[in-house]
Structure 1
Amino acid sequence: MATNRKYDEYLASMRSLLETGKHSDFTITCGNSTFRVHKSIVCTQSEFFDAASRFGKEGQEQLVNLPKDDETAVGYMIQYMYGLDYDIPGSTDDLKGRIMVHWGTGAGTQHGECTKCAEYNSRQKRDLDDYLSNIHQRSDEEAEEFNRMNNRVLVLKPCDPHYAKTLHQIADGFERKRKAGALPTTQAPKFHHDILTHVRVYIMAEKYIIQGLKDTAMEKIKKIILFAHLTNPIWEALELIFKETPHNEGKLRWLAAQRIEQELISYGMYTKLQEFLWSTPDLAVRVLHLKYPRDDRAS
């Protein structure tokens, strides 16, 4: 307990150094933001800033400008350097009571599969998932039960007898509302939008060779992307990954491929997914590699 308190006090002192700029001996600027930082902290974590502080115009002025970088991501990068983590305001509460359906290729109705869901086509499955992804934001009876889950993710499996009844009940309610034209207007939860920031932070960490920040951003991305319904912000994040990361990037592109493989297993090929794969051939090849692992004996 005392150790935790001391660590919290240490982090508070580090945040104070960044917020006040006290004893600062180096400056980083980006857009309208100016960060008065400390070489002993930032230069020991990044070879780029170490070199900038010692050579050329930047070394003489003890100032480096990052005009091409995302201002918000730069702020989170520096926040990480002073606390070994970064936090997007308001992002945690939106994770409460997330629900997803693991459609897969169920064993069939003889094992208790939700027969109503078994008859769904790709569009209906995605509509139901969209409905479930927003259920925690509402105040109706369905939401009350799931709001008790706190921050857990409930994975419903149509072919699992334990979940079939629950999913069937949800599907009945969903069908009644859809036929009555009473489905609520849904919008992407805030944490879906946060993934764009996490991807930009990852790209920043890749650029400035800050491995710890890459790992931290990767964990935050993984927490969202593997369990979230593919809303517009997540499609944008997937596009950003393949637009801004190096072709040989070893982790984030494979994570994106894993998510798209899940999408294909759940829903099959649909128009938006097909168009995205056509426009992103590297992703398409990676998905194929996941489905058909390379056999070097065949080379």
Structure 2
Amino acid sequence: MSGPVESLMQGLAELYESGKLSDFEISCGRYTFNVHKAVICAQSKYFHVPCGREYAEGQRGSIKLKAVEESDDDEACDDPEAVKLMVQFFYHLEYDAKPLELMPVPEEPLEEHLAEAPVIDDSVPGPWSIHGLSSRKRMNRCKRCGRRGLEEDRSYDGTRTTTTTSKSTTDECKSLDGNVVMHAKVFAAAVKYQVPALQKLATSKFRRAAEINWKDSSFAEAARIAYTTTPECVRDIRDTVVKTISDHPILLQRTSIESTVKDIAALNFELLHKAYGLAAMAEVKDVDEGLDSLEYGIRDIL
């Protein structure tokens, strides 16, 4: 028997899929969603206002969100796909971005630290030792993301075979969508419409996607979205962008990243800041604000 949380989630999903008892409509681009005020307002403070009967949207029971393709001002508009995933989250507490085809890692690593680790002897006696079986473990790079997984070479009576002793990192990568652009757009929607739980989830998905797919050309677009669609004080995915470029400086040799960094002064400055080993921008801002408050306090006393 399902627990109370599972039963609630199943009930919400069924309500959305059936459209029963829906009392509000959200439209964006080619999409129209029949939703429930209680469900969306419980997760988004933004919708408290348009759902109220004292406002035109609340009286007619609908709101139209301007889509990016309907205006030249992309930063003030919404991506219909991101809105669709936001609505999906309201009812499932999860969203599924369209998987991005991952680019294979070249045979030769791009950076020295991705080189294959040396073989590590691990001939610990085990139940197979009486048969003369020994083992050697080595770290093997994932062909997609460059992360390492443990594999074991075993020899038996002079014959060598290879078996995997831990879950393949390549298989793990296949379970990730790698869609840094869409996660950045969902994050922007979560910030704009004040959905903190979705903001946290999108941050996590963006971070994991960036880890496995930083080589893809889409990362430059994701970086641009991170810095142009959210307030400067919202650091969540901006910090991931800075860390990713800093961890993989070879990205700066790519035209797309070079252009993005040159066009966005804030990103340029933060990369310079990190290159010199200075404190994170959020920490610097906190310190500056603290000093300002102290200065004003002293002035008041004097």
Same fold (TM over 0.5): yes
Q: Percent identity?
A: 23
Bigger radius of gyration, 1 or 2? 2
Match of 2:64 in 1: 65
Pairwise mapping of residues 7-46 of structure 1 onto structure 2 (< 5 A)?
7-46=5-44
* Aligned counterpart for 2:87 among listed residues 53, 72, 78: 78
SS at match of 1:278: helix
Pairwise mapping of residues 77-96 of structure 1 onto structure 2 (< 5 A)?
77-88=86-97, 91=99
- TM-score normalised by length of structure 2: 0.63
Q: Report deviation, 1:253.
A: 1.1
C-alpha separation between the residues in 2 aligned to 1:268 and 1:197? 20
Q: Deviations over 1:214-269 (max 9, x none)?
A: 000010000010232421112211122222222332221111111110121xx385
C-alpha separation between the residues in 2 aligned to 1:105 and 1:133? 16
- TM-score normalised by length of structure 1: 0.64
Match of 1:247 in 2: 232
Q: Deviations over 1:26-77 (max 9, x none)?
A: 1111122211111111012112211111132102112111123211111110
C-alpha separation between the residues in 1 aligned to 2:251 and 2:273? 17
Q: What residue identity is the alignment partner of 2:144?
A: S
Contact 1:27 1:62 in 2 (8 A): yes
C-alpha separation between the residues in 2 aligned to 1:271 and 1:197? 21
Pairwise mapping of residues 1-299 of structure 1 onto structure 2 (< 5 A)?
2-3=1-2, 7-54=5-52, 55-68=54-67, 69-88=78-97, 91=99, 103=111, 132-133=143-144, 148-149=168-169, 151-152=171-172, 191-192=177-178, 194-264=179-249, 267=250, 269-270=252-253, 272=255, 273-294=257-278
C-alpha separation between the residues in 2 aligned to 1:85 and 1:98? 29
Q: Deviations over 1:66-124 (max 9, x none)?
A: 123211111110111112111235x39x78x9899583669x9xx969xxxxxxxxxxx
SS at match of 1:47: coil
Question: Using a 3 Å threshold, how does the CA distance of structure 1 residues 283 and 147 change in structure 2: closer, same or farther?
Answer: same
Question: Using a 3 Å threshold, how does the CA distance of structure 1 residues 234 and 191 change in structure 2: closer, same or farther?
Answer: farther
Contact 1:73 1:201 in 2 (8 A): yes
C-alpha separation between the residues in 2 aligned to 1:229 and 1:98? 11
Bigger RCO (CA 8 Å, 6+ sep): 1
Structure 1, gaps ≥5 residues long: 114-128, 136-143, 154-188
Which has a greater percent of helix? 1
Which has a greater percent of strand? 2
Question: Using a 3 Å threshold, how does the CA distance of structure 1 residues 149 and 270 change in structure 2: closer, same or farther?
Answer: closer
C-alpha separation between the residues in 2 aligned to 1:292 and 1:259? 16
Structure 2, gaps ≥5 residues long: 68-77, 120-140, 147-162, 292-302
Moved over 6 A (4+): 97-100, 144-147
SS at match of 1:191: coil
SS at match of 2:215: coil
C-alpha separation between the residues in 1 aligned to 2:105 and 2:86? 28
Aligned residues: 230
C-alpha separation between the residues in 2 aligned to 1:216 and 1:262? 23
SS at match of 2:96: coil
Q: Report deviation, 1:210.
A: 0.6
Q: Deviations over 1:164-207 (max 9, x none)?
A: xxxxxxxxxxxxxxxxxxxxxxxxx9934x22111111000010
Aligned Cα root-mean-square deviation (Å): 4.0
